[in-house]
Amino acid sequence: MSRIAYFDGLRALSVLCVILFHYNVPYFSSGFLGVDLFFILSGFFISQQIYNKQELNNYNFLWFVENRLKRILPALFLISILTFPLFYFIFNPIQAFSYGKSLISLSFFSSTGTISAA
């Protein structure tokens, strides 16, 4: 098995741990472990990509940012657009207000400054 396939398998396992945590599956009470593992592996891949580009003297910070935005923004906007109409039917007024604040903050890539319990 290639090293990349091994790490992709670990990333899939970390996502599965988070999903099972959210569904309250017994023995999966530490969803943060899955999140931590995912971020560590993602950081490894990003660092490796930057290192390889620098070794070839081909690294450009603007390319890096553009590449990240092309991967993240489409999914971010899609989920935001799809969930926006649903909050009217699912949330109570206080939750809807908090969700609206989150969407506004999301537009500026900032935090709402509050933590809400699910």
pLDDT for 12-61, tens place per residue? 888 888 888 888 888 887 778 888 888 888 888 889 888 998 999 988 89
pTM of the model: 0.60
Domain extent listing, the chain: 1-59, 60-118
E strand or H helix that includes residue 14:
helix 3-22
φ, ψ of residue 109 to 5 degrees: the values are 55, 45
Report how far apart, in Å, the C-alpha atoms of 24 and of each of 18, 28, 29, 31, 96 are: 10, 7, 7, 10, 25
Radius of gyration of the chain (CA): 18
Q: Could you identify the residue written with the tokens 């003297």?
A: 57
